[in-house]
Amino acid sequence: MSANHKSQFRALINKPGCLIQPAIFNPLSARIAQACGFEALCLGGYAMGAHTAITEPLMSLEEVAQIVRGVRQVSDLPLMVDAGAGWGDPLHVMRTVKVLEQAGASSIHIEDQFFPKRARYHMGVEEVISMEEMIQKIHAAKQARQDPDFVIVVRTDAMRTHGYAEGVRRCNAYVEAGADMIMIFPDSDEDTRNARQDIPHVPLVYVNSTGNKFNRGVYTRDQLDQWGYKILYDAISSINVVAKTLFAYYSHLNETGEHGLDNDEMVQIRARVEKAIGLEDMYKLEQATLGAIHMPKRG
């Protein structure tokens, strides 16, 4: 792994094939994803908002930056961070880029939604600013980045509100304004297939939103690779999987008073967690500095 996660991300997106970036939401999920072999990660807004129980529209820039710092302390993998609408106008976007880049992001994505962000977006009510205003934000983001390898991804939500053609028009204008990558939300298989030829001069990011209520396609990496996408951004699945497991476990514990877990399996899972968070390295350091470990005898 390169010591520079930003240049490493640039190298990854210049390689052939479609890259999977799974959404994480805290340092432990980052370590587990890294242990499973992923080459890059993303901090999705929905996952971060759900994990904090604040929800994405109400999260502040500093709250997101704190999560980025925590992840960066435990992982050197490239990290794309959801920067929402940039927390305001172009001046605020400049500060957003500086704060998140310094916190440890390798890349951010900003969107052409209104700020302040609105919770009803999650109901499917998508509201976008003008293309001209978004272009100003892109210029501000480019001006603010300190490292030219810092990747600025621009997202449009206009395909649902204004139609596929308007979304394509915006995307190509955003590329001309300096976007390094484009994130899109096509509403049909046909539009998803056609996007590569209609937005030809930039790598494309497709967002898989498992559990979405709007029948947006959820595709495999192979399918998106065939259609010419560079990144499969798996935005929601991790938080859904964790929530499913906790709902089932807490319900069972409350109803029966028993954990209902297989102890041999839990021993294996706990060992994997401890390896992922680095306990083995801590043990070695303590042994080297504090002396041999003497395990207590069982009576």
In this prediction the pTM is 0.92
CA dist., res. 100 & res. 6, Å (int): 13
What is the average pLDDT score of the chain?
A: 94
CA dist., res. 70 & res. 74, Å (int): 7
- The domains of the chain, with CATH numbers, are 5-243 (3.20.20.60), 261-291 (no CATH)
What is the model's pLDDT at position 292? 74
Report CA dihedral (137, 85, 101, 175) to the nearest 10 degrees.
Answer: -50
CA dist., res. 247 & res. 169, Å (int): 43
- The pLDDT confidence band at residue 2, using thresholds 50, 70 and 90, is very low
pLDDT per residue over 215-267, tens digit each? 889 999 999 999 999 999 999 999 999 999 999 999 999 999 999 999 999 99
Better-scored residue on pLDDT, 19 or 211: 19
Better-scored residue on pLDDT, 280 or 65: 65
pLDDT per residue over 105-150, tens digit each? 999 999 999 999 988 877 777 899 999 999 999 999 999 999 999 9
What is the model's pLDDT at position 194? 97
pLDDT at residue 1 above 70?
no
What is the model's pLDDT at position 299? 56
Taking the CA of residue 234 as centre, how many other CA atoms within 13 Å lie in the half-sphere pointing to its CB?
19
